[in-house]
Structure 1
Amino acid sequence: MPVVEAAPPAAQVLRLLPRPEPAPEPAARILLSPPHLTGEELPGLATTLQSGWVAPAGPMPAAFEAALAEATGMPHVVALASGTAALHLGYRCLGLERGDEVWTATLTYVATIAPAVQMGARPRFLDVSAGSWTLDPDLLERELARAARAGRLPRAVVPVDLFGQSCDLDAIAALCDRWGIAVLCDSAEALGATRRGRPAGQGARMAAFSFNGNKIITAGGGGALASADAALIAEARGLAHQAKRPAPHYEHETTGYSYGLSSVLAAVGLAQLAALPQRVTARRAVFERYRSGLGDLPGITFMPEPAWSRGTRWLTAILLDPGLGAPSREAARQALAEAGIESRPVWKPMHLQPAFRAAPRAGGSVAADLFERGLCLPSGSALTILQQDRVIGLLRSLWRR
């Protein structure tokens, strides 16, 4: 009988097989606007935890509010759980009632108007200016004059500072003063921006800010409401802490909310706030590198910056025109996503949102066009030049195709 040789051990067979080349490690994902910590957050956190003050009370929220007052140029500030909470309290302190009208720019995030709608107000959306992407003062003037003739003026006008750029608040506030209408500025995206040398939000009756994880300054969450009116902020502070009245027991003349910012988050925000000027410089540098690396391509333009404005460039936003040889906004977004690069369309206008399909509006074509063609690129203040070159190279390849 033939001798059957035993099969060699598996390990020996594996050694004889050709070794495949190791697969290249995937490049790290590039995020749109991730948190950028300073390294100084830990000492503040340690001090806070050692002190025992972790609730929305004590020295850390007060210190954060004082620093915010200096940064915003508004002497009275209350730190809150979110930017949405700040807007909600702003509406409440302005006396918004069911059936009142609130006018705002249609090009914004839903948090601008959601609290007002939840309070029973009726939203009305106004178009933006192509020169700033923020509320168009000329359109606002025409609409206020028309509403005055009809005896249907809004309770409040809420302009929005967009992608780190201040609206033309001076013009907007002057118009609203003419008709005695309060201005609540949504400055959630614009801490550190200025217009005509004044900080974003300054000049409104109140201004709301956000410290969400993607903002230029983050507390890991949180927000603030600021004003030159001490009484308004005192009212907001009381409402943020369940509207408790001074008494040895719990006494309430009205109902409030649990909207206070914890000492732990305030400690993070305070450390972050010290780096605000550097963060603005870094984001503006990111914008300039994009403009240098992409600006020669046909069919691409960048969010404009009016002569009266100095934005933070919190997000770099571009417009793509396929009619001039550029890829579509969606083609560019999908190509970036496939390469592990996060981008996001410009805000979908509120008048195009299903939730507000029946809401009245004035204009809207400018905002709709910006949404159709606009894309926000990775803009983090810690974005490296190599990462940005990856984004630029990928986008340029779409033109070569």
Structure 2
Amino acid sequence: MSVDRSRRIYLSPPHMGGSEQKFVKQAFESNFIAPLGPQVNGFEEDFSKISGYAHCAALTSGTAAMHLALRILGVGKGDVVIASDLTFIGSVSPVTFLDAEPVFIDADRKSWNMDPDLLAEAVESCIAEGRKPKAVIPTDLYGQCADYDRILEVLEPHSIPLVIDAAESVGSTYKDRFAGKGAFAAVYSFNGNKIITSSGGGMLASDDEEVISKARWLSQQAREPKPYYEHNEIGYNYRMSNVVAAIGRGQLEVLEDRVHRKREIFDYYEAKLGNVSGLSFMPEADYGKCNRWLTVMQINSEAFGATPEQIRLALEEENIESRPVWNPMHRQPVFSNCRVFGGGVGEDLFEHGLCLPSGTALTEEDLDHIVSTILNCGK
């Protein structure tokens, strides 16, 4: 097989569907190029229909959406916010923007997401200290929903709000509900590497109209409704631009196709590598359907004959991008003083995990090349 090594195979690059240009053309023709405009309104309405959430605010990033959700909940200095340990820092950094303290919860083996039993332990511990958590943020890891209902069983007796980080799970389902549905609010991302992208941007969704109205106001510098500029609160420049929203609207039209293709890619890797000694893949929890944003492989180095890092470097030699699993938050120097409940599962997944190229435009030739490169690393 002849392989063009000059063409880089990326981990999860954008994949345009074609209709994005139609919406962008409308944005240019209307001359709404700056933030706000008909495409932003349209993107919010389109996402509301798909997600089942009554109200949505299109913002500059998922991190901005999380910041606004926590700000609206009144999170402040000295408060405790519980979050997933195995996640990307953008899920957690907004807690620190508000001078609050993150407390981390390890993953379970079933889903690689927040362990509800450890969450219950953490909630009871914080309440015993007189510091009832102001919010809980589970991350839907690599497109797989956390066990929302079990988490809500822990939180509802204490009236603790749930804010779901669904940045990686757009298009996934939990018990036939759209990823993130059922929380006080959910946060989504359309970054360039996500299953669909607007080049950047995020969405805050809620069934509470007041929450989204306040998020929109705060995202536009919290300007008072007067003919001149007056501000009683500090706000942010977090509103999505009309052009970015136009791209997002086109991408939403191909979301179902992208989920289907991501799952096909996962199935291909699993069929070719899943029976190889020392190799296994992220499980799918029985309560939902994972969008398989990234295919994640676990490597038993002794059984396979190579470490995750050796495989990563071998793929890099072939101009193929791969990446370790998220390094848990409690291992990050910036969070070295934060509490963690558990930690061993996330550490193990990080030590043995590798994210494989999962772009929806990958060809069978590309996949064969990736698979053969991995197999050549083994015994």
The CA deviation at 1:246 is 1.3
Q: SS of 1:301's equivalent?
A: strand
Q: Which moved more, 1:280-289 or 1:34-43?
A: 34-43
Structure 2 equivalent of residue 17 of structure 1: none
The CA deviation at 1:218 is 0.3
Structure 2 equivalent of residue 163 of structure 1: 142
Contact 1:300/1:326 (<8 A) preserved: no
- TM-score, normalising length: structure 1: 0.92
- The amino acid that maps onto 2:181 is Q
Aligned partners of 1:357, 1:118: CA distance in 2, in Å?
A: 17
Aligned partners of 1:247, 1:182: CA distance in 2, in Å?
A: 33
Aligned partners of 2:305, 2:334: CA distance in 1, in Å?
A: 32
Q: SS of 2:157's equivalent?
A: helix
Superposed CA RMSD: 1.3
Structure 2 equivalent of residue 251 of structure 1: 230
Structure 2 equivalent of residue 66 of structure 1: 45
Moved over 4 A (4+): none
The CA deviation at 1:338 is 1.0
- The amino acid that maps onto 1:51 is S
Contact 1:38/1:271 (<8 A) preserved: yes
Question: 1:161-202 CA deviation, whole Å, 9 max, x = no partner?
Answer: 010111111111221111111111111111000011111111
Q: SS of 2:56's equivalent?
A: strand
Structure 2 equivalent of residue 98 of structure 1: 77
Q: SS of 2:26's equivalent?
A: helix
The CA deviation at 1:398 is 1.2
- Sequence identity of aligned pairs in percent? 43
Contact 1:125/1:362 (<8 A) preserved: yes
Matched, 1:324 2:285: no
Structure 1 equivalent of residue 261 of structure 2: 282
Structure 2 equivalent of residue 119 of structure 1: 98
Structure 2 equivalent of residue 19 of structure 1: none
Aligned partners of 1:71, 1:386: CA distance in 2, in Å?
A: 33
Aligned partners of 1:348, 1:114: CA distance in 2, in Å?
A: 15
Q: Could you tell me which of 355, 359, 366 is aligned with 1:380?
A: 359
Aligned partners of 2:200, 2:84: CA distance in 1, in Å?
A: 24
Task: Write the mapping of 1:336-351 to structure 2, written as runs, cut at 5 A.
Answer: 336-351=315-330
Aligned partners of 1:389, 1:25: CA distance in 2, in Å?
A: 13
Structure 1 equivalent of residue 168 of structure 2: 189
Q: Which moved more, 1:26-35 or 1:343-352?
A: 26-35
Matched, 1:219 2:198: yes
Contact 2:55/2:207 (<8 A) preserved: yes
Aligned partners of 2:342, 2:305: CA distance in 1, in Å?
A: 27
Q: Could you tell me which of 2, 5, 13 is aligned with 1:34?
A: 13
Question: 1:94-126 CA deviation, whole Å, 9 max, x = no partner?
Answer: 111111011111100011111111210111111
- The amino acid that maps onto 2:95 is A
The CA deviation at 1:145 is 2.1
Structure 2 equivalent of residue 265 of structure 1: 244
Q: Could you tell me which of 189, 196, 212 is aligned with 1:233?
A: 212
Q: Could you tell me which of 279, 291, 294 is aligned with 1:315?
A: 294
The CA deviation at 1:326 is 4.1
Contact 2:5/2:318 (<8 A) preserved: no
- TM-score, normalising length: structure 2: 0.97
Question: 1:339-385 CA deviation, whole Å, 9 max, x = no partner?
Answer: 11100000000000111111111110000000000000000111111
Q: Please list every run of 5 or more consecutive structure 1 residues that lacks an aligned counterpart in the other structure.
A: 1-23
Aligned partners of 2:269, 2:49: CA distance in 1, in Å?
A: 32
Larger Rg: 1
Contact 1:126/1:140 (<8 A) preserved: yes
Q: SS of 2:143's equivalent?
A: coil
Q: Which moved more, 1:141-150 or 1:127-136?
A: 141-150
Q: Could you tell me which of 373, 376, 394 is aligned with 2:373?
A: 394
The CA deviation at 1:25 is 5.8
Task: Write the mapping of 1:138-177 to structure 2, written as runs, cut at 5 A.
Answer: 138-177=117-156
The CA deviation at 1:43 is 1.6
Contact 2:79/2:131 (<8 A) preserved: no
